[in-house]
Amino acid sequence: MIEIKEAISKKELKQFVKFPFKLYKNSKYWVPPIISEELKTFDKSENPVFNDAEARFFLAYKNNEIVGRVAAIINWLEIKNQDIQKMRFGWFDFIDDLQVSKALLKTVEKIGKEHNLKYTEGPVGFSNLDKVGVMTEGFDSIAPMITWYNHPYYVNHYQAHGYTVEKEYSESKFPFANVKPEFFKKAQELIKRRYKLTALNFIKTSEVMPYADRMFDLFNKSYASLSSFVEITDIQKEYFKKKFISFVNPEYIKFVLDENENLVAFAIVMPRFADALQKAKGKIFPFGVYHILKAKKHSKDVIFYLIGVHPDYQNKGVHAVLFNEMYETFTAKGIQTCYRTPELEDNEAIHKIWKHFDPVVYKRRKTFKKNL
């Protein structure tokens, strides 16, 4: 018999966070989160997303042993502002037992029905800055820090419980040697002159901060047309500045300004922390911080985390300015491999941007949906 219990206490939430450590203890490809940071994400006093969203966390037990988990999420900004009547769920992990996954999904569905929502979709987080999708291809490669890893059997469970594919994503990579500056070097000079643009580079995190709010505003504008987008509120900006900006090498943050110093484009790239996080084993201290700082300084692999261009400047080649600045930095750093975060398969605009670099898709993932 499967028993579902809500994780409410600090002890239970820690069990919720640590369950995958057991599930993937023998995996070479799973990347553990930092336990303390994951707990902060679920802490209503820490994470301002809870001003506009709610979440409940559930553990599945079989023979008094934890065998699964799921977060049931309602984002009220999405529901009230966009009229998307969605019951979200994420952090969904389970042993290969259909009764376990069924019991967890039924719990999510029950909450959705109680709020008169029309469908469930997952795995997703609170917003577009969270992890997304169950992996369907690429099980034999290490997962980036910013995505979920899962066993191959997960997909069979979604299908068995009547869920259908909602969105499809791909992750790609390419060697930095594929980047040929002739594709953007001359173009970016012309574009800067034509639109009176200036590229902005940084060497200190403190230099980035005065522009951070404007970057999040531009993120909201440039991503607004994508499906499942939920805007970042003013309160969340402060949270994300602390959580993300300090984690990124300032030289990997590139901005483009117009003649009035308005921000019209940005790019954020992160070192690849996957190996360091595996060595950290979920803990910052005593040795985790050493591995993370070492990767931040010396990693030869990078992940393109976010690129945003103001709607008024889209399809005008402004990304060439960003690529040129990144090219100069990556050359100096000796970068070897570039990875991209999950991108919607139907986002043709972003695929066109990368085509000159001959990227290879190495992972695919999907979200699944069920009508309530």
Where does the pLDDT of residue 227 fall: very low under 50, low under 70, confident under 90, or very high at 90 and above? low
Residue 40: CB partners within 8 Å, gap ≥ 6?
46, 47
Sorted by where each begins, the domain ranges of the chain are 2-170, 175-364
pLDDT at 128: 80
The model's pTM is 0.94
Q: In this structure, what are the phi and psi dihedrals at residue 221, rounded to the nearest 5 degrees?
A: -70, -45
The CATH number of 175-364 is: 3.40.630.30
Q: Closest Cα partner for 186 from 46, 341, 321?
A: 321
pLDDT at 94: 98
pLDDT in tens, 44-93: 999 999 999 999 999 999 999 999 999 999 999 999 988 899 999 999 99
pLDDT in tens, 161-211: 999 999 999 999 999 999 999 989 999 999 999 999 999 999 999 999 999
Q: What angle do CA 61, 66, 67 make, to 5 degrees?
A: 85
d(CA 251, CA 270): 10
Distances in whole angstroms, Cα of residue 213 to Cα of each of 103, 209, 219, 220, 356: 42, 8, 10, 11, 32
Q: What architecture does CATH give domain 2-170?
A: 3-Layer(aba) Sandwich (3.40)
Q: Closest Cα partner for 358 from 185, 186, 180, 187?
A: 180
Number of Cβ atoms within 10 Å of the Cβ of 182:
8
- Amino acid at position 370, single letter: K
